Amino acid sequence: MALVSETQHASLSAEKQLIDSRLNFYHEEDTKWASFATQVGTSYRVVSVLGSQGTGCTTLLNDIFGTQLPTMSSEVSQTTIGVRQIWSPELRSLVLDVQGASGGKPSITENKLTQFAAACSSDLIINLKQDEVCRHSTLHRGMISNVCRTLLERYDAHDSQRTRVNVLYVIRDWDETANLESACAAITRAALAVWGDISSELEIDTESTPFHEFFRLDFATLPHKILDPTAYTSQVAALAERYSSQTADSAEESAPRNDVPLQDVYEHMRRVWTIVRGRVNISDERRSLADRVCPVFIESALQFAKRCIKEKIDVEAKADDFKASSSQTQNEAMEHYDRLAALYDPNIRQKHRVTLAGAVDMVLLKCYLHHVKSLRTIALSEFKQRVTALQRTILPMPPMPSKILFPKLDELKGDCLKVFRELAIAARLNEQWTIEEQAAALELTMDDAIAPLKSQQAAIDLSMERSAAIFSRPIAPLTDIPKMISDSAGWGRMVASAIWGR
């Protein structure tokens, strides 16, 4: 399915000045382009053309990529000043038309523009006329030296994301009077010689940085466009096939893949251009870009996590359900970040992922503490109910002394605290989350709940002590029972005679 409709191609494919004659960089944000670029990701090419002025570099780009860059006319001897850019939707390529070399020793401007093209491009097209082949090693040595130097400095030595640059030499106006194999061999020898010289100058061992690990060199010929238009059109179509869009997951090494996502490519180019007078290191730029955008993705993932907490997590749910929903929220937040940051430097992405994991953990911890407070409320209510039940078992029976009651209360406290801890630990997603503060708070509230009972128990203990003291006095034993009976009988007769004698 097409990323954009045919009616949108025109607005997205308009040619624009990227670097002007005063070496100023221009790019204006475009919402349509940003929306489109986000869908492309890194599955695209940046193609630059290098060559001499007036040799048809712009025409070559237009013919291969179907673009409409302005070309030289009878009134204009040089059309490309600085760098012009245009998007080729058919070949999913960002095409850079670089100002041509004037011949002889490269000017400062030419060096800067060549360095910029080499630093930003996945593909370089070097446009040569047939009669320039034999003079290429001297005529374009400065340009090739600049390309080699830039590619040696473009990545860190151990950057696992390093990609080779496709360099295609297109020999124009080829009439087959020369031997193509010899021409290609001469160009290759010249490039290898320059590569060796630059490596020595930078004190780099050529064995550890072989040419083929940085370049993928290829050659093509084109007949004269006017003298043999049919053959020219046919071979241009074959060149276009080289750059035809392929899926990002293609197994072919030639599948388009760039160092930065398309939505960030202009900011990336801007930063490259600002440091082009010094060392251009794409590894640093890619890391810097990831460092700038990953915090934005972290914030997005955090907001996503908070929405999930609000919608999916019930703080009063059972422990297993709470833990499961917390784990789901954590995983979805991390997956949200991974989707957004997938196209950026993996090391920087992972560094910020660790930061996000900590931030999500803190958000979930707050939710967990609310859940624990809910458990604490339930545990306290259960404790009070059990204390009330205990009181009912001893009333209106004789009061229970403290030495019996208090251990029972402590046992109830221990049981409730144990159940609270078990439920809190079962709901805990991270073992480092502590519940000791909440457990101490629960124990304190339970102590407060039974404080009136303990105060009342002090009075009960005092009453029981006094009762025990009274009932513990000694009683004289009944030793002369018959005498007591006779005495009682005597007292009885006396009382009876007194009553009846009246």
In this prediction, what percent of the chain has a pLDDT beyond 90? 30
Is the model more confident about 232 or about 70? 232
d(CA 302, CA 486): 103
Band of residue 156 on the pLDDT scale cut at 50, 70, 90: confident
470-482: burial string, b at 16+ Cβ within 10 Å, e else = eeeeeeeeeeeee
Question: Is pLDDT above 50 for 75?
Answer: no
- The whole-number average pLDDT for the span 447-471 is 77
- The whole-number average pLDDT for the span 27-32 is 82
Structure tokens at 213: 């690990």
Band of residue 1 on the pLDDT scale cut at 50, 70, 90: very low
Question: Is pLDDT above 80 for 374?
Answer: yes
Q: What is the DSSP letter of 125?
A: E
Report CA torsion sign: 401, 407, 411, 417. positive
The secondary element (H helix, E strand) that includes residue 265 is helix 265-274
Q: What is the pLDDT of residue 102?
A: 77
3-class DSSP assignment, residue 161: coil
3-class DSSP assignment, residue 124: strand
Structure tokens at 474: 């000694």
Q: What is the pLDDT of residue 94?
A: 93
Q: Mind giving me the DSSP string for 318-372? A: -HHHHHHHHHHHHHHHHHHHHHHHTTS-HHHHHHHHHHHHHHHHHHHHHHHHHHH
Angstrom CA distances, 456 to 391, 394, 399, 400, 467, stand at 12, 14, 11, 12, 17
d(CA 103, CA 31): 41
Is the model more confident about 122 or about 209? 122
* Range name among 127-141, 439-453, 460-474 with the lowest pLDDT average: 460-474
Is the model more confident about 257 or about 210? 210
Question: Is pLDDT above 60 for 247?
Answer: no
CA dihedral 34, 36, 41, 43 (to 10 degrees): -140
Convert the pLDDT of each residue in 381-411 to its tens digit. 888 888 888 777 765 556 677 777 788 888 8
- The whole-number average pLDDT for the span 236-265 is 72
Band of residue 249 on the pLDDT scale cut at 50, 70, 90: very low
- The whole-number average pLDDT for the span 20-25 is 85
- The whole-number average pLDDT for the span 144-172 is 86
Average pLDDT, whole number, for the chain? 83
> Which candidate, 365, 360, 358, 330, places its Cα nearest to that of 435?
365
Is residue 57 within 8 Å of residue 270, measured between CB atoms?
Answer: no
d(CA 480, CA 501): 32
Question: Is pLDDT above 60 for 2?
Answer: no
Q: What is the pLDDT of residue 434?
A: 87
Question: Is pLDDT above 80 for 423?
Answer: yes
Distance from the Cα of residue 305 to its chain's centroid: 14
> Which candidate, 411, 472, 466, 420, places its Cα nearest to that of 442?
420
Is the model more confident about 281 or about 204? 204
Q: What is the DSSP letter of 16?
A: E
Is the model more confident about 72 or about 331? 331
Convert the pLDDT of each residue in 81-136 to its tens digit. 889 999 998 899 999 999 988 777 788 888 899 999 999 999 999 999 888 887 77
Q: What is the pLDDT of residue 284?
A: 77
d(CA 140, CA 191): 10
